[in-house]
Amino acid sequence: MPTIVTICGSARRDNPTAMALAIVQDELAKVDGLQIIGVEPDQMVLFIPGMETGPSDQDKLQEIVSSADGVILATPEYHGSYSSLMKVVIDNLGYPSALKGKPVSLLGVAGGRYGAIKSLEHLRSVCAHVGSLVLPDSVSISQAGRAFDDNGNCTNPRVETSLRKLAQRLILYLKETKCPDLYMEVMSRGETDD
C-alpha cells in the first residue's frame, strides 16, 4: 500500500497552514489503498542538533518519513522563509536525510498578499540539497486569514482547487515516475552513492 506523509510546519492553534493541509489530505483520502500519515511535529520531542538533552522522537520521525513513498511539507512564511519548526523537522531527518530519493510537494501559507514565495523558494532549495525530488507547481496561499473560515473551510474556490491539484499531482507522479539516486549533498561532499 503506498504511503504519503504530510508534515505541518505550524504550531499555532487553528492555523491556516493546517487548514490548507487538511484539504490536501481530504483529496488524498479519495485514493483507494493509499495510506496517509499526518505528522504534527509540535506534538513530538525534537531537538536542535547539538542541543539534545534526553530522549526524543527523532528515530520515530525518520522511520515514518523513510517508509513514505511521497511527502508533503506545509509551512507558513515567517520573516521571508519557512518556519523554524519545519527547519527542526528537516534537521532531525538525519544524514543521509530520510527525504533522500523522496518526491516532495510543497505548500506555503502567508498572511500577506504576495503569498509564501520566499518560504517555498528556501524550502525547495534545502529539500533538493538533501536529495529529495521537489515536484513543480508548489502551492502558495496569500492572505491566508481570508482564505479559510472559522471551521477551516476554504472560502476561495481557486485556492481549494490548487490544494486538491497538489495532492493529485503527487499521486500521478508516484504512479508514473521513479526518483533519481544522485543528489546535491553527496555531490558537494565529493562522496559517491554506491
For residue 55, what pLDDT is reported?
87
How far is CA 192 from its chain centroid?
27
Decide if 194 is inside a domain: no
Mean pLDDT of all residues belonging to the chain: 89
pTM above 0.75, yes or no: yes
Decide if 51 is inside a domain: yes
> Could you list the residue range(s) of the whole structural domain that residue 127 is in?
3-189
CATH number of the domain where residue 61 is located: 3.40.50.360
For residue 182, what pLDDT is reported?
46
What's the N-to-C CA distance of the chain in angstroms? Answer: 28
- Mean pLDDT across 53-61: 90
Q: Residue 67 — pLDDT band, cuts 50, 70, 90?
A: very high
Residue pair 9/44 in contact by the 8 Å Cβ criterion: no
Q: How many domains does one find in the chain?
A: 1
Decide if 96 is inside a domain: yes
Decide if 14 is inside a domain: yes
Q: Write the pLDDT tens digit of every residue in 89-122.
A: 999 999 999 999 999 999 999 988 888 999 999 9
Percent of the chain with pLDDT strictly greater than 90: 71
For residue 172, what pLDDT is reported?
93
Q: Write the pLDDT tens digit of every residue in 166-180.
A: 999 999 999 887 544
Decide if 120 is inside a domain: yes
Question: Sign of torsion, CA 122 124 125 126?
Answer: positive
CA dihedral 44, 50, 53, 56 (to 10 degrees): 30
For residue 190, what pLDDT is reported?
66
The grid cell for 78 is 515567517
- Mean pLDDT across 44-54: 84
